[in-house]
Structure formats: C-alpha cells, structure tokens
Amino acid sequence: MAHPRPRCPGVRGRYEGRGPPAPSGVIKDSRLAVGLVQMDPALGDRARNLERHRQWVRQAATAGVELLVFPELSLTGYFLKDLVAESAISLQGTVMDELRGLSDGLDVVLGAVIEEPDHRYFNASLYFSRGELVHVHRKVYLPTYGMFDEQRYFAGGDRFRSFKTGFGRAGILVCEDIWHLSSAYILSLEGVDMIICPSASPGRGVTTDERLGTAESYGLVCRTYAQFLTTFFLYCNRVGYEDGANFWGGSMVIGPNGDIIAQQEDADEALVLANLDLGDVRRERLANPLLRDERLELTINELRRVLHERTRKPF
C-alpha cells in the first residue's frame, strides 16, 4: 500500500532532500501531523533542557505539528548515574505545571526521571495533551549489560498499557522495551493505532557498508513491528555525546505497512516532520488481517504451560 510522503521542511529521509533542521513552513492537509525532536540534552541540567523543550515546541507549533515526541530522558540526559535523585521530578510537584503547559497547543511526549512517594526512581516517558497529563510509561526493561547500568539507579516498570488520545489509541515503549517481543505484542492486542518509542541509543558496531550496527538493528526492529502489528511506529532517538558515548539519532516515522515515511539519517539535531493518514491503519488491517486472526487464548494457554515447565523443580 502506498503511503503519502511528507512534504515538510526539515525532514531528511528516503523521500525528502536535505533541508534545514528548523522548519520554516507549515504542515497542511494532514489528518495527523507528527514531529520527532532529535535533540542533544544537557546532562543533569533540567532547567536548560526545559527551556530547550519550550523552543522546540514553539518551532513545532509554527510547523503545524499536532503530536510532538522527545527522546528518552530528554529533560535530563542519559548517563545520570549519581545525578538521578537530584534530576528527578514528582508527578505531584510544581515542575509538572511547567510540563503541562508545553501541551497547550499540541500533544507532547517527553522523557524524565520521576520519583515515587516511596523514593523509587523511574526512567519514564510522559504524554501530555491540552495541559493535562494523560499517561505515564515507566520503562520496564532496564539494560544492565555492556555499557549500560540502569538497574543500579532505576526501578523497573511493571506494565504495558495503551491509552486514548485525540488521534486514536497509542502506546509508549522506551528504548530497551522494544527489544522484547512481548512488549509491542501486548500493546497491539489492546488495539493501538500507534506505538511511540523514545530512545537514547548509543552507536555501536559498523556493518560492511559502514553503517552503524545499532542503526540497522533498530530500523529492522521498528519496521518489523509496524508491519506485523499493522500500526504506525514513531521512533525518536537523541544525538550528542555523553560519557564517551555517541548517540546516533536516526529518528524515523514508519507506516503500518513497514514503509519509512520520514527519517533523519544523520546525527544532527533536527525536527523530523511527517503527515500521517490514520486511515492507513484500517486499510492495512483489512488487507493484512494479522491481528484479527490472532488466537489470544491459545497464546495465553501456551505461555502458562511454558511458565509451569520452566518453574517446575526437576527433583
């Protein structure tokens, strides 16, 4: 199925020429105008990052964006380590008033460290709409291998939930969450039209054509989810350097047939813009009724059997 290709300034990808990072035009005639903020947050400087969020929101509003997505931990930077506690916000705190204000004219997804009343800290993404907090996703799968050490500093979330927006049902998965098949599968069974994935992925590995291995892997995973689950997939990765690591960007918008609609192919700061026809989800599911044919009860029964066999003591 052919998807409408965006004609938006500032978009770099398969269907667009090179353009300036800051858009100068306005998106027109779209059912949903989305923007991905591929930014370089300042490590541990929440006030500076909040001001930069305001600037990006103003640019996006000028371009006609209706849904704006920021990367993982966009308010704080990624390798916080001992800065986690002082960088955290409370969902009942005064900072939330400022964050809610970002969404007065468009829906906003941003990344923050949140502190619970019991003083656990979560790597979270927050969805705001019309000045209200709509949904919080606490990152479930915390990478603690290689260069990653999230379990030392964060508690893990314990649920995947879809939620209603003005554009349909959506779900959020943060970075490592998408590397576990069950995460996106659960959201798809809840009928999401769109999966949003804020990310802070450093570049690792080089393939034979000199592309980053992480870039190829994420592209493959995101496009596979979009096609198999027949849903839009918004992947927003950050850029910049922290603690010797280079974040590679590559933010992309993918249609429900697995085609890339828009992508920022380099590691520059940019506002990636795309026009989505939300009717594409219905058309793709009519042509490719994978979700209709899912046998959820069979899946649950088999998972129970596997769980029983894995936990059964051999002696």
Q: What is the pLDDT of residues 240-296, one digit of tens each?
A: 999 999 999 999 999 999 999 999 988 999 999 999 999 999 999 999 999 999 999
Count of residues for the chain?
A: 315
Q: How confident is the model at residue 11 (pLDDT cuts 50, 70, 90)?
A: very low
Query: CB within 8 A of 282, min separation 6: which ones?
Result: none
- Helices vs. strands in the chain: H and E counts, helices first: 7, 14
Average pLDDT over residues 27-39: 81
How far is Cα 214 from Cα 144, in angstroms, rounded to an integer?
Answer: 17
Distance CA 216, CA 110 (A): 25
Q: Label residue 205 by pLDDT band (50, 70, 90).
A: low
What letter does residue 283 receive in the DSSP assignment?
A: H
Query: Which fold does the domain 32-311 belong to in CATH?
Result: Nitrilase/N-carbamoyl-D-aminoacid amidohydrolase (3.60.110)
Confidence band, pLDDT 50/70/90 cuts, at residue 16:
very low
pLDDT at residue number 15: 31
SS3 302: helix
SS percent in the chain: helix, strand, coil, step 5: 30, 25, 45
Summary mean pLDDT of the chain? 90
* Cα–Cα distance measured from residue 284 to residue 1, given in angstroms and rounded to the nearest whole number: 8
The single residue listed with the structure tokens 């890339």 is 260
Q: Which residue in 132, 109, 67 sits closest to 274, CA to CA?
A: 67
CA-CA distance, 175 to 197, in Å (whole number)? 6
pLDDT score for 266? 86
pTM here? 0.88
Read off the DSSP letter of residue 305: H
Domain boundaries, the chain: 32-311
DSSP assignment, residue 20? -
Q: Are 73 and 113 in contact (CB under 8 A)?
A: yes
Residue 144 has a pLDDT of 97
